[in-house]
C-alpha cells in the first residue's frame, strides 16, 4: 500500500472495531480483534494487519464480514472491503497481496488477487442483472472474442465486483494457466506511482501488458488522474490489439466519469456496456436464502421478508443485515426470529429513515413550503420568488443527501454544478445574518427529518 495515497481513516477503524467489539463478549475474541493493526485505506478497501497468519485467518473467518459491514456503516459506504494482511515488514509486492486460500491452483488465483467466493454459482440472477450476467458468462467462455471490453456498470453494492471476479474465477477454473489479473483502479494507480518512484516503469509495463485477462475494478476512480489514465490507455491498447480480454467496472457510465480523457472514454464505450440494476424483491429474497444456506443459518421466511423489504437498493447492506442478525442471534444464544431482527436492526433502520431524505423529497418540501410546484422550482425561471426557494432546496440537498454538485445540478433542470456551488454559498452566507432564512431552514429540516414526513 502506498502510504502517500492512504488518507487517515483510522478513526473510522476505531469506531468500526468498537461496534464489533461491543457485539462480542468473550475476552479471546476481543483480544483477537484488538490485535489487528490498522494500516490505512486504498480506494474502498481498508487494510489491517494481523500479527501472524493464524490470527489473520481466524479474524477473517470470524469477524471479517462484521468488521467490513461496520466499516461501511461508519464510513458512510466509502469503505467496502476489509483486507487482513499478515505483518511481515518488508517490501511491497507489485501485485496486491493474496486473499484467503484453499483451492488447488492457488498460485494463479492468488496472483490474480481474485476473491474466490465470488463465483457465478454464488451469483443470484434476476431481471435486474440477467443481461450483465449473460455478458459476463460469454466473456468467460470466449475471452477476447465477444465483447471487448466488457464494461459492467451499476450502483454501489449491486454486484459489479462479484461478477467481475466470477469471470476471472471461471476463466481460471477452465484454464488454470491463464494469466488473469484483477485489481482496482486505485491499486493500478498506486502501483504505477511506486514503479515511477522506484524507476521500474519498464517492469510495470511489461507485467501489465503480458496478462491474458485484465479486470480493472471501479474505473470511475480514474477520474482526473491524467498520468494513470495515460498509462492505462497504453496498457489497454496493447492488450486489446493482442485480443486479450479486458473487463471494467464502474458505478458511472463512461460519459458520466468526470475528467476522463476522450480517447479512453471511447475505448470504454467501444465494447459492451452491461448494467446491473437494483434487484427486485424476489431476487433479494433469493440472495438471502443463498447466503443463509452458505452460512448454515436457519432463516425463517418472515425474517427474510423483513430484511428484503428493509434493504432495497444495496445487496451489500442486505447481506450485512443478515450477518449482523446472525451475530446477534449467536451472542444471545437464541434462534433468528422476527423480534430479534427488529431489535438487531433497529438503529440501522432508524438511521436509514432519516437518510430517507432525497433530492425529490427536498424539492417537494421546499415547493410546498413556498407554494410553488416542483416543475417551477426546477424551471429556468429567474424570478426571485422561485430562485430563492430553488437555492434553498439546492442547499438542503447538499447538506442532507450524498449527491454531488453535478448530480444536484442535473436534478434541478440540468443546471451546471457551478450554479449549485453558488447557491450553497449564497445560502450559507445569508444564514449568518438572516434570522428569517434561518427559521425557514429550521422548519424545513424539522419537517424533512420528522419520522412521519
Instruction: Find the part of the chain contacting ligand ADP (CB under 6 A) among 186-194, 232-240, 313-321, 408-416.
Output: 313-321
Neighbours of 227 (CB within 10 A): 11
Give the nearer residue to Mg ion in terms of CB position, either 55 or 129: 129
Q: Which of 123, 151, 153, 240 binds ligand ADP (CB under 6 A)?
A: 123
Give the nearer residue to ligand ADP in terms of CB position, either 60 or 316: 316
The answer to the question of residue 161 lying near ligand ADP (CB under 6 A) is: yes
The answer to the question of residue 316 lying near ligand ADP (CB under 6 A) is: yes
Instruction: Find the part of the chain contacting ligand ADP (CB under 6 A) among 159-167, 207-215, 227-235, 376-384.
Output: 159-167
The mark string for 148-177 relative to Mg ion (x by CB under 5 A, - otherwise) is: ------------xx----------------
Query: How far apart are CB 450 and ligand ADP at their closest, in Å?
Result: 32
Instruction: Find the part of the chain contacting ligand ADP (CB under 6 A) among 46-54, 118-126, 236-244, 426-434.
Output: 118-126
Instruction: Find the part of the chain contacting ligand ADP (CB under 6 A) among 16-24, 151-159, 183-191, 363-371.
Output: 151-159
Residue whose entry in the numeric block shows the C-alpha cell 477520474: 223
Contact 377, 393 (CB under 8 A): yes
Query: How far apart are CB 126 and ligand ADP at their closest, in Å?
Result: 7
Task: Show the cell assigned to 295.
Answer: 452460512
Contact 72, 80 (CB under 8 A): yes
Query: How far apart are CB 43 and Mg ion at their closest, in Å?
Result: 9
Contact 243, 253 (CB under 8 A): no
Give the nearer residue to ligand ADP in terms of CB position, either 270 or 313: 313
Q: Which partner in Mg ion, ligand ADP, none is near 316 (CB below 5 to 8 A by kind)?
A: ligand ADP
How many Å apart are CA 128 and CA 278, to the nearest integer?
6
Give the nearer residue to ligand ADP in terms of CB position, either 32 or 124: 124
Please choose, from the candidates 83, 100, 97, the residue with its C-alpha nearest in 3D space to the C-alpha of residue 9: 83
Give the nearer residue to ligand ADP in terms of CB position, either 64 or 154: 154
Query: How far apart are CB 49 and Mg ion at their closest, in Å?
Result: 23
The answer to the question of residue 160 lying near ligand ADP (CB under 6 A) is: yes
Q: Is 346 left (phi over 0), alpha (psi -120 to 50) or beta?
A: alpha
The dihedral over CA atoms of 60, 65, 70, 72, expressed in degrees to the nearest 10, equals 110
Task: Show the cell assigned to 133.
Answer: 450476467
Give the nearer residue to ligand ADP in terms of CB position, either 166 or 427: 166
Task: Show the cell assigned to 220.
Answer: 470511475
Cα 238 vs. chain centroid, distance in angstroms?
Answer: 29
The answer to the question of residue 367 lying near ligand ADP (CB under 6 A) is: no
Residues 6+ apart with CB under 8 A from 164: 118, 136, 152, 182, 215, 217, 247, 249
The answer to the question of residue 415 lying near ligand ADP (CB under 6 A) is: no
Give the nearer residue to Mg ion in terms of CB position, either 160 or 267: 160
Q: Which of 50, 79, 158, 192 binds ligand ADP (CB under 6 A)?
A: 158
User: Which residues face 38 on adjacent strands?
Assistant: 48
How many Å apart are CA 397 and CA 74, to the nearest integer?
21
Q: Identify the helix (H) or strand (E) that includes residue 217.
A: strand 213-217
* Sign of the torsion angle spanned by Cα atoms 426, 428, 434, 436: positive
Q: What is the DSSP letter of 5?
A: G
Q: Return residues touching ligand ADP (CB under 6 A).
A: 118, 122-124, 129, 154, 156-162, 287, 315-316, 319
Amino acid at each position: 500500500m502506498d502510504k502517500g495515497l492512504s488518507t487517515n481513516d483510522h478513526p473510522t477503524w476505531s469506531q468500526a472495531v468498537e461496534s464489533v467489539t461491543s457485539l462480542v463478549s468473550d475476552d479471546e475474541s476481543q483480544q483477537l480483534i484488538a490485535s489487528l493493526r490498522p494500516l490505512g485505506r486504498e480506494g474502498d478497501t481498508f487494510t489491517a494487519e494481523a500479527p501472524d497468519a493464524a490470527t489473520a485467518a481466524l479474524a477473517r473467518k470470524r469477524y471479517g464480514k462484521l468488521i467490513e459491514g461496520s466499516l461501511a456503516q461508519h464510513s458512510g459506504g466509502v469503505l467496502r472491503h476489509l483486507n487482513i494482511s499478515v505483518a511481515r515488514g518488508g517490501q511491497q509486492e507489485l501485485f496486491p497481496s493474496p486473499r484467503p486460500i484453499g483451492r488447488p491452483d492457488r498460485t494463479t488465483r492468488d496472483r490474480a488477487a481474485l476473491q474466490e467466493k465470488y463465483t457465478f454459482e454464488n451469483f443470484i440472477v434476476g431481471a435486474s442483472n440477467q443481461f450483465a450476467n449473460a455478458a459476463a458468462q460469454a466473456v468467460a467462455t470466449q475471452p477476447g472474442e465477444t465483447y471487448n471490453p466488457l464494461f459492467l456498470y451499476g450502483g454501489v453494492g449491486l454486484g459489479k465486483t462479484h461478477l467481475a471476479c466470477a469471470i476471472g474465477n471461471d476463466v481460471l477454473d477452465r484454464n488454470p494457466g491463464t494469466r488473469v489479473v484483477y485489481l482496482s483502479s486505485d491499486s493500478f494507480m498506486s502501483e504505477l506511482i511506486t514503479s515511477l518512484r522506484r524507476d521500474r516503469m519498464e517492469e510495470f509495463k511489461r507485467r501489465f501488458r503480458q496478462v491474458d485477462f485484465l479486470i480493472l475494478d471501479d474505473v470511475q476512480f480514474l477520474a482526473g488522474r491524467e498520468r494513470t489514465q495515460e498509462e492505462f490507455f497504453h496498457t489497454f491498447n496493447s492488450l486489446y490489439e493482442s485480443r486479450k480480454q479486458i473487463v471494467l467496472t464502474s458505478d458511472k457510465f463512461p460519459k458520466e466519469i468526470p475528467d476522463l480523457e476522450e480517447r479512453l472514454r471511447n475505448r470504454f464505450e467501444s465494447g459492451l456496456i452491461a448494467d446491473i440494476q437494483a434487484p427486485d424483491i424476489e431476487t433479494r429474497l433469493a440472495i438471502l436464502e443463498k447466503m443463509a444456506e452458505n452460512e448454515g443459518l436457519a432463516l425463517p421466511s418472515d425474517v427474510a421478508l423483513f430484511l428484503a423489504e428493509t434493504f432495497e437498493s444495496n445487496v451489500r447492506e442486505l447481506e450485512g443485515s443478515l450477518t449482523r442478525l446472525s451475530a446477534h442471534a449467536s451472542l444471545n444464544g437464541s434462534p433468528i426470529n422476527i423480534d430479534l431482527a427488529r431489535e438487531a436492526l433497529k438503529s440501522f433502520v432508524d438511521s436509514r429513515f432519516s437518510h430517507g431524505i432525497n433530492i425529490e423529497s427536498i424539492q417537494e418540501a421546499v415547493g410546498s413550503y413556498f407554494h410553488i410546484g416542483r416543475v417551477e422550482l426546477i424551471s429556468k425561471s429567474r424570478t426571485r420568488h422561485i430562485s430563492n426557494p430553488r437555492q434553498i432546496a439546492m442547499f438542503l440537498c447538499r447538506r442532507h443527501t450524498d449527491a454531488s454538485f453535478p448530480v444536484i445540478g442535473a436534478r434541478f433542470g440540468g443546471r451546471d454544478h457551478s450554479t449549485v456551488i453558488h447557491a450553497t454559498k449564497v445560502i450559507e452566507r445569508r444564514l449568518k445574518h438572516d434570522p428569517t432564512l434561518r427559521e425557514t431552514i429550521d422548519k424545513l429540516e424539522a419537517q424533512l427529518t420528522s419520522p412521519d414526513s
